[in-house]
Amino acid sequence: MAEQNNNILLQVSSLKVGYGGIQAVKGIDFEVRTGELVSLIGSNGAGKTTTMKAITGSLTFSDGDIRYQGESIRGQGAWDLVKKGLVMVPEGRGVFARMTIVENLQMGAFIRRDKAGILADIDRMFALFPRLKERRDQLAGTMSGGEQQMLAMARALMSQPKLLLLDEPSMGLSPIMVDKIFEVVRDVYAQGVTVLLVEQNASRALAIANRGYVMESGIITMTGPGKELLSDPKVRAAYLGE
């Protein structure tokens, strides 16, 4: 497991995000430290994806601040953030449908110039995702949803992220594929990548998290160690149907 310390890699402070006349995020605070796996859980519409889009620069936020590696990233675009090691796998995967698996992985390394390292990392992705190796020359658009999710994660890892943001990676997948995705998230974290995981599947997300945050209607309502939140009666009643 990655070594934990008190170095704050991502700090979100008093963040407010609105669009279309709706205040989707209403002044939230949370942090991710280097070496952590942090889960942000909540029901559909809680503001989780909006928060992720604000962090990665695809949505402008109206108030508050987001600091990455101690520096405010307000106004910075996705290209700048990827170069700094902040990379997101978006909800819906977003693979390049008309490209092969190998070409998608190469696109993930677009900021790199180390050809030998890129080739070595493609082999590493194939070891992490054997199903992708079997289909390396297949067009991404012809793959199943679970396979596309694996490819989206592998493509993001090709950029050598310091912080990997995963937005609803298990959404719409079969139970077997959900098992595989969470297994890969654990493996990626164990290899030293700091992870911020946004998930509706509260039980799976909290079970693997060092810490968790519960988001409801645009605000953070609870926080604590993942396993403590998982056993909290309010969390279990709201998200696990107990």
Q: What is the pLDDT of residues 159-177, one digit of tens each?
A: 999 999 999 999 989 999 9
Residue 24 CA to residue 14 CA, distance in Å, equals 13
For the stretch 132-160, pLDDT in tens is: 999 999 999 999 999 999 999 999 999 99
What's residue 139's pLDDT?
A: 97
H or E segment to which residue 213 belongs? strand 211-216
Residue 6 pLDDT:
62
Main-chain dihedrals φ then ψ at residue 164, nearest 5 degrees: -105, 120
Picking from 31, 39, 22, 19, the residue whose alpha carbon sits closest to that of residue 65 is: 31
| Under-70 pLDDT residues of the chain | 1-6, 241-242
pTM: 0.93
Q: Quick check: 223 and 211 in contact, CB under 8 A? A: yes
Q: Which CATH number fits domain 8-89+160-239: 3.40.50.80, 3.40.50.300, 3.10.105.10, 3.40.50.720?
A: 3.40.50.300
Q: Which two tokens stand for residue 121?
A: 């990392």
Asked whether the beta carbons of 14 and 62 are under 8 A apart, the reply is: no
Q: Which of 146, 168, 148 is nearest to 97 (CA)?
A: 148
